[in-house]
Amino acid sequence: MERLTRGTILRALKELARSLPPDRAHSLVLVGGAALVLLYDARESTKDVDAFLLGSGSGDVLRRAAGEVATTMGLPADWLNDGAKGYVHGLALGERLLSVPNLEVRTTVPAQLLAMKLSAWRDDVDIADARLLLSKLAGDRESVWRQIEPHLVPGRELKAGYGFADLWEASRGLA
């Protein structure tokens, strides 16, 4: 499977903007590994771009445009997908990653990205990403947890809490 680098992601998003209907602006929210690659150069690449449309845009229009980009650029058919939207609880918009005619791409705040990683907590990549995101949050243990907690996926709070405790102790000690 081809990995998507920062440059490839940005080219694909710009091509996506050209493929979307020009009659209105589209807003896309990126989460997961692609957001970390673009925000922090967290790693060299990611396997896909987890994103969803903001507002009342048509998912079908986005899927068609993403399919055109996949064909044009030789990317996997699912290079852009909404597979991570089940980990988005509430929405706290963060930085703008790209703004071109017809498309604005944003991410969520670091606390929400961390909540998503803690809720998923699947593998070493999630742990490394969570460690990086934790480093972006200021405060003591309780205040950082209060930033994260509203964004945890319901039913995954216990798992996320254990992950957070491990991360906190490994990076900032027991305090």
> Does 159 lie in the same domain as 140?
yes
Average pLDDT over residues 39-52: 92
pLDDT of residue 56: 65
Written in H, E and C, the secondary structure of 91-121 is: CCEEEEEEEECCEEEEEECHHHHHHHHHHHC
Q: Which residue has the tokens 């742990």?
A: 127
Average pLDDT over residues 56-65: 83
Is 58's pLDDT higher than 80? Answer: no
> Does 137 lie in the same domain as 94?
no
Cβ neighbors of 15 (< 8 A, separation 6 or more) are 69, 72, 73
CA distance 76 to 70: 6
> Does 140 lie in the same domain as 77?
no
Confidence band (pLDDT; 50, 70, 90) for 175? low
Q: Which residue, 91, 108, 125, sits at the end of a domain?
A: 108
Q: Domain range for residue 9?
A: 4-108
> Does 41 lie in the same domain as 76?
yes
Helix (H) or strand (E) holding 162: helix 157-172
Percent of the chain having pLDDT more than 90?
A: 77
> Does 126 lie in the same domain as 50?
no
> Does 98 lie in the same domain as 23?
yes
Average pLDDT over residues 38-45: 91
Is 55's pLDDT higher than 80? Answer: no
CA distance 156 to 87: 10
Is 125's pLDDT higher than 90? Answer: no
> Does 41 lie in the same domain as 101?
yes
> Does 92 lie in the same domain as 141?
no
| Structure tokens belonging to residue 51 | 């994103």
CA distance 29 to 13: 12
> Does 156 lie in the same domain as 140?
yes
Whether 56 and 141 have beta carbons less than 8 Å apart is answered as: no
Domain count within the chain: 2
Is 124's pLDDT higher than 90? Answer: no
